[in-house]
Amino acid sequence: MRRTGVIFEELPKATIVSVSRPETGDISPILLSYTIELQYKQFKWRLLKRASQVLYLQFALRKRAIIEDFHDKQEQVKEWLQYLGIVDQTVMEQDDEEPDDGPVPLHHEDSVKNRYVPSVAALSIIRPSLGGQQSIADRAKVTMQGYLNHFLGNLDIVNSQEVCKFLEVSKLSFLQEYGPKLKEGYVMVNHLSNISQDSDVSCFPCNWFHCCDNNQKKVWAVLKPGFLAFLDDPFNNKPLDIIIFDILPSSNGETKIYLADPIKEHNPLRYTFKVSSGNRSILLRTTSSAKVKAWVTAINEASLRPLEGWCCPHRFGSFAPIRGLTEDGSQAQWFVDGQAAFEAIATSIQDAKSEIFITGWWLCPELYLRRPFHSFSTSQLDSLLEEKAKQGVQIYVLLYKEVSLALKINSLYSMRRLLKIHENVRVLRYPDHFAARVYLWSHHEKLVIIDYKICYIGGLDLCFGRYDTPEHEVGDCPSVIWPGKDYYNPRESEPNSWEDTMRDELDRKKYPRMPWHDVHCALWGPPCRDIARHFVQRWNHAKRTKAPNEHAIPLLMPHHHMVIPHYMGRSKEIDIDEKKDEDKRKEIDIQDSFFSESPMQDIPLLIPQEADGPVTSNGDHTNLSENSPLLSQKLGHETLVSDSHMKGFQDEVVPLNLGAQSVVDTLDDWWETPEGTNDDTTLEYGQVGPHTTCHCQVIRSVSQWSAGTSQPEESIHTAYCSLIEKAKHFIYIENQFFISGLAGDDIIQNRILEALYRRILQAHKEQKDFRVIIVMPLLPGFQGGLDDGGAATVRALTHWQYRTISKEQHSILHNLEAKLGPKTHDYISFYGLRSHGRLYENGPVATSQVYVHSKLMIIDDRVAFIGSSNINDRSLLGLRDSEIGVLIEDKEYVESLMNGKLWKAGKFSYSLRCSLWSEHLGLHTGEISKISDPVADTTYKDLWSATAKENTRIYHEVFACIPNDQIHSRAALRQSMVQWKEKLGHTTIDLGIAPDKLVCHENGEIKTIDPIERLKSVKGHLVSFPLEFMREEDLRPAVIESEFYVSPQVYH
C-alpha cells in the first residue's frame, strides 16, 4: 500500500563508521562523537553526531509518544527521566551542537503503538563506563549501532519529524532529479519576511538574551550540487527561496572568492555566514561556530564538485561543462527551416507530461505549427498549450518585453492571450525598462523545453513569418499555408496590430512574402538540462526583479515523479511510460505535492535539475576515466581549444589535455574507420537530421540585467574565435548579421572578423587551401527601401555590415586584398539567398530575398554551432542581448573527402551542411557526391560560386532587383526605381516584380519571352552578395533623422 506524506518509503540503513572523543581529558561517553553513514536507496550521506544530540533525539521521541498517549503524562515523563538518571538541570541544557528545532506540530493520526520508542538501548551511551579510552569507544560504537538499529527499524518512527530532522532529511532529499543528498538543516534568514512563523520558535539562546533580529525567520535549508533551497520545514516541499549557483567572479590578487563565507559579527552570540551567487547575497545564521564552518565547507564543496562545478567557468568560460564525454545520453538532431522544426516542436508539446518552458524574442499564440492550416486547425500554439494545461502540465513562458516605440511585436497582447488559456499557464514579461534601466537590449534566446527531456534551440521564434518549406515560396493566394498576418514581409510593412491575426496585412496579389531560412536543433540528455537550468535562472531573476510580490500566480515547484530523467546508475534515462506504474506507487499525496493547491501567493520559483551523475554524497566520486575509454587513454581527438581566458580554472569534468590541439588537428592521421562509421550515401539530406550521439556544450551571452549573473558571460564569442582559430580546412557560416571588427577597431568590439582574418593569412602563408563561406541576408529585414525617408535603420544596419565586409579600411576584404590581391576570393566569399514564383495562378512573377535568419557555423564537417546569437556586438559581448547556443562535436563519423583526401566527417555536421547546400544549390537525390568535398575547386569554384554567379545574373536580367552591384549611390537607386515603376506601373520596395514579357537578345535578334521561362535556369536559391552596392554612400543616420540621436550600439 502506498504511503502518503512521508519522506522514507522504506527503511534506511545506518552504520557507525567511527567514534571520536574530545581533546579534553574527560572520557565520559556523553562527550563522544559518532560518524554515521546512512544509505537510502541509492543515496548515501554521512552525519557527525554527538552523544548529547542522540540523547536529545531520544528525549524528543519519548516526549512525543507520551504527549500523544495523553495518559499519565506527568508521571511517565518524570519516571522516564529518573530511569535514565537525568534531572532537569543537568542534561537538558542545549549545547552548541544540539538541534535548534523549537516546537513541532504533532501527528495525531499516528498511534502510540506505531511510535514505540526504544529506551533501554540508549542507556549505555549516557552512563559512565569503566575501562580504557579505546574500550569505551568500542563499546559506545556497538551500543550506538544497536540503538540506531532499534529506531531505524520502525518506518513510523523513521518518518517522524524528530528523526527526519536528526537524519537531516526533507522531502527534497531523495528526489532523484535534484542530485545527491547533501547537507540540510535549520538556518535563520532575514530576507523572507513573508514567512509565517510561530512567536515561540526562536534559536537558542534567544529566549535568554533576545539576541536575534525580529525579522529573522527559521527555514530548512537544502543543499544540492546546483542550488541552495529554503523550505518552511522539512515536510514542506514548496521553496520559499532558492539560490542557483553560478560562476563566481575571478579572484582578485591573493583573495579567493568563495560561494559561502563566514561573517564575523560584533555580537559574539551571533553565528553568521554569507552565500553569494550571481547578483544575490544572503546572510544566514545558525547556533554555533561549528555549524557555520560545516555549512560553509559543504556549500563550497558542492559548488565545485564534479560533474558540473557550477561556480567555475568551463571551456570558453561557459557556465556549462562539456557533455557526452561519457555515455550520458547527450544527443542532437538538426532541423532546416520552420516546417521541420515546428512539426517536431508540436509533437513534443503534445507528448509533454509535466512541464513546458518557452522563451523567445517574439511569440505569437495563434501560430499554426502544422500546415496547411485548414487541415490542422488544432495545431495553433495556444490550442496545443491549452490541451496540455488542462491535463495538468505546468507551462512557463518568458517573453521579451519590447520597447513599444521601437518594435511592434506586442508582447503584452501575447501575454494576455496566453494567460487566458488556463491557470496552469504562467507568463512573465521582462525587463521593465525603466526599473531595470535597460532600454537598448533584448532577450533574444529561442527555447522550448519539454519535461527536461528534450530541448529545441536555434534561430526560430514561435511567431509569424517563420514557418517555411525548402521551396521558399513567395506567394500563397488563395491562402493555404500562410494565413492572415503569417503572410509576412517586413521589408514592405509591419502590422500595427497583431490581434486580428487572420486578417491579411499585405495584398497577396501585389506583394510577395519574404521567405525565411533558419536552422534549429533538438537536444536530449544533460545538455537539455543545462539549457533548462539557464531558463530557470532567467525565470527566477525576472520573478525577483519584476514581480517579487505578484499574487496572481502561486509559488510552485514541479511534481518530482513527472520529471523524465532518473538516476539509475550513471547517466541513464527512463522513459516516462516505462516508469508509469512505479511513479504511481511513489506518488506523494496531492496535499503534499509540489503542484498542490495553495494560496495565490507568488510567481513560482523553479528549482533547476541536475544533469545525470553519481548520487553519493560522501565525498567519493566515481573516477570518470575508469568507465570511459575516452578519458582513460591518450585521445585520438582532443577537446577543441585551450582556455587561455580561464585564468587557471579547469573543467573538473574533463581530465584532458586542453592544449592548443583541436579535434581537427589530431584526426588527420587517424585513417582507421572507427566503429559505427557509415558511408555518406547511407545518410539522408532532407530537412530533418539524423539522431546522433555527440559532445555538446551549452554556451551563452548573459549578464546581470538579463540573468542576474555576477559578471558577464560571453562564451559564444569566445567559442567562435577559438573555433575559427583552430579550423583546419574550411568554415561555413550562416547568420542574420555580420558585423565585426579587426584588431584596433575602437567601435566594434567583437573579434570574429579578426579571427577570420588571421586564419586566412595563416593559410596563405602555409600555402594551403582554406575556405570561408558566409551566407547572410541581402538586406536587413526591416521596413523601408534604402532611399526611403523613414528607413534610417535599414541604412544604418547596411552601413555597419558593409563596413565589416568590403567598405573602408576596417573591412576584411580591403585588408586581405592589400596583402593577397585577387587570391582573396579563393579564401573568403559572401552570399545570399533569393527565391521567385507567381503570386497567384497566372499572376505576376515576383522575387524576394530569402531572409537568412540562421545562426550557424560548421567547422571542417566535424563541429557545428547552432544558436540564437547574431554576429554583432549586441549578441556576443554578454552585456547586451541575452543569447544561447550549443556547440556540437561529432562522435559518429562518415567517410567523406576534404580537399581531395579521405576525411572522416562528423555525422551531425556533415549531414547538416549537405542538407543546406543541397537546398541552396537545388541539388536532387543522387547528387550529394558533388558537394561531399567542400574545399575542392570542383565544389567551391565550379559548383558553389558558379551557381551563385549564374543565378545572380538571371535575377538581374529579369528583375534588376535590389541590392545589386550596378547601384552605387542613392541617386542611382532612385533613378532605377522610377524607371521600373514607369515600366511596370507597380513594383515592390526592392524591385521584385518582373515585366509581363522579357526582352532579350539572342544571336543578334531581339526576342520576347515569358520571364518564368528564363527563371527556369535558376538552380536553388544561392546568389552572390553584392559587394559594390552603395559603395559611394555613407549610410549612417543624418543629423536630421531621429536615429542619429540613438546610440550607434543599437545597430551593431
Number of H helices, E strands in the chain: 29, 34
Is residue 47 within 8 A of residue 36, CB to CB? The reply is yes
Q: Could you tell me the maximum CA-CA distance found in the chain, to the nearest angstrom?
A: 123
| Mean predicted confidence (pLDDT) in 299-314 | 81
Q: Within a 13 Å sphere around the CA of 805, how many CA atoms are in the beta-carbon half? A: 27
| Mean predicted confidence (pLDDT) in 130-154 | 76
Is residue 736 within 8 A of residue 749, CB to CB? The reply is no
Give the model confidence (pLDDT) of 964-1023 as tens digits. 999 999 999 999 999 999 999 999 999 999 999 988 777 778 888 999 999 999 999 999
H or E, element range at 687: none
Rg from Cα positions in the chain: 33
User: What is the Cα 484 distance to its own chain's centre?
Assistant: 33
**Segment 995-1003 long-range contacts (CB within 8 Å, at least 24 positions apart):** 996/844, 998/957, 998/958, 1000/957
Is residue 443 within 8 A of residue 400, CB to CB? The reply is yes
**Rounded Cα distance, 905 and 889, in Å:** 11
Q: What angle do CA 178, 180, 181 make, to 5 degrees?
A: 105
| pLDDT for the residue 987 | 93
| pLDDT for the residue 681 | 43
| pLDDT for the residue 617 | 45
Is residue 447 within 8 A of residue 531, CB to CB? The reply is yes
The SS3 assignment for 399 reads strand
Residue 293 appears among annotated catalytic residues: no
Whether residue 230 is predicted with pLDDT greater than 70 in this model: the reply is: yes
Counting every residue written for the chain, the total comes to 1052
280-286 sheet: strands from edge to edge:
239-244, 227-231, 217-224, 184-189, 280-286, 271-277, 260-263
Which of 282 and 575 is assigned the larger pLDDT?
282
What is the share, in percent, of the chain residues with pLDDT greater than 90?
55
The SS3 assignment for 148 reads helix
Q: Does pTM surpass 0.75?
A: yes
Confidence band, pLDDT 50/70/90 cuts, at residue 27: low
Least confident of 22-31, 66-75, 620-629, 749-758: 620-629
| pLDDT for the residue 684 | 59
Catalytic residue among 451, 461, 476, 651: 451
Is residue 430 within 8 A of residue 545, CB to CB? The reply is yes
Which of 856, 900, 905, 869 has the alpha carbon at shortest distance from 690? Answer: 905
Confidence band, pLDDT 50/70/90 cuts, at residue 772: very high
Least confident of 109-118, 278-287, 661-670, 881-890: 661-670
Bridge-based pairing state of the strands 730-734 and 260-263: unpaired
Is residue 29 within 8 A of residue 126, CB to CB? The reply is yes
Catalytic residue among 49, 183, 353, 446: 446
| pLDDT for the residue 204 | 45
> What average pLDDT does the structure give for the chain?
81
**Rounded Cα distance, 1049 and 440, in Å:** 8
Least confident of 47-51, 505-509, 549-553, 573-577: 573-577
Residues 6+ apart with CB under 8 A from 426: 394, 395, 396, 397, 553, 603, 604
Catalytic residue among 241, 337, 530, 860: 860
Catalytic residue among 171, 314, 444, 541: 444
| pLDDT for the residue 579 | 43
Which of 332 and 5 is assigned the larger pLDDT?
332
| pLDDT for the residue 437 | 77
Confidence band, pLDDT 50/70/90 cuts, at residue 926: confident
| pLDDT for the residue 311 | 85
**Segment 1046-1052 long-range contacts (CB within 8 Å, at least 24 positions apart):** 1047/440, 1048/747, 1048/796, 1049/440, 1049/873, 1049/874, 1049/880, 1050/440, 1050/874, 1051/793, 1051/796, 1051/797, 1051/799, 1051/800, 1052/739, 1052/747, 1052/748, 1052/800, 1052/872, 1052/873, 1052/874
Is residue 482 within 8 A of residue 476, CB to CB? The reply is yes
Is residue 358 within 8 A of residue 421, CB to CB? The reply is no
| pLDDT for the residue 185 | 94
Confidence band, pLDDT 50/70/90 cuts, at residue 562: very low
Is residue 833 within 8 A of residue 770, CB to CB? The reply is no
Confidence band, pLDDT 50/70/90 cuts, at residue 497: confident
Least confident of 213-222, 419-428, 719-728, 880-889: 213-222
**Rounded Cα distance, 322 and 658, in Å:** 12
| Mean predicted confidence (pLDDT) in 23-36 | 73
Is residue 394 within 8 A of residue 423, CB to CB? The reply is no
In this structure, which amino acid lies at residue 70?
F
Residue 444 appears among annotated catalytic residues: yes
SS3 sequence of 671-685: CCCCCCCEEHHHCCC
* End-to-end alpha carbon distance in the chain: 63
C-alpha cell at 260: 559561502
In this structure, which amino acid lies at residue 396?
Y
Residues 6+ apart with CB under 8 A from 286: 100, 185, 186, 187, 188, 203, 271, 273, 292, 295
**Rounded Cα distance, 1038 and 789, in Å:** 11
SS3 sequence of 916-969: HHHHHHCCCCCCHHHHCCCCCHHHHHHHHHHHHHHHHHHHHHHHCCCCCCCCCC
| pLDDT for the residue 553 | 56
Give the model confidence (pLDDT) of 579-605 as tens digits. 444 444 344 333 333 223 333 333 444
SS3 content of the chain, % helix, strand, coil (to 5): 30, 20, 50
Whether residue 227 is predicted with pLDDT greater than 80 in this model: the reply is: yes
Least confident of 42-56, 368-382, 724-738: 42-56
Whether residue 306 is predicted with pLDDT greater than 80 in this model: the reply is: no
| pLDDT for the residue 637 | 36
Is residue 595 within 8 A of residue 561, CB to CB? The reply is no
| pLDDT for the residue 580 | 42
Give the model confidence (pLDDT) of 677-730 as tens digits. 554 444 557 999 999 999 999 999 999 999 999 899 999 999 999 999 999 999
Query: Is the sign of the CA dihedral 386, 392, 393, 397 positive or negative?
Result: positive
| pLDDT for the residue 144 | 84
Which of 923 and 3 is assigned the larger pLDDT?
923
Residue 171 appears among annotated catalytic residues: no
C-alpha cell at 221: 535549508
Is residue 359 within 8 A of residue 536, CB to CB? The reply is no
Residue with cell 538581374: 956
Give the model confidence (pLDDT) of 630-654 as tens digits. 223 332 333 343 333 333 333 333 3
Confidence band, pLDDT 50/70/90 cuts, at residue 849: very high
Residue 746 appears among annotated catalytic residues: no
φ/ψ of residue 214, rounded to 5: -65, -25
Catalytic residue among 853, 891, 1021, 1052: 853
Q: Which residues of 414-429 are buried (b: 16+ CB within 10 A; e: fewer)?
A: bbebbeebbebbbbbb
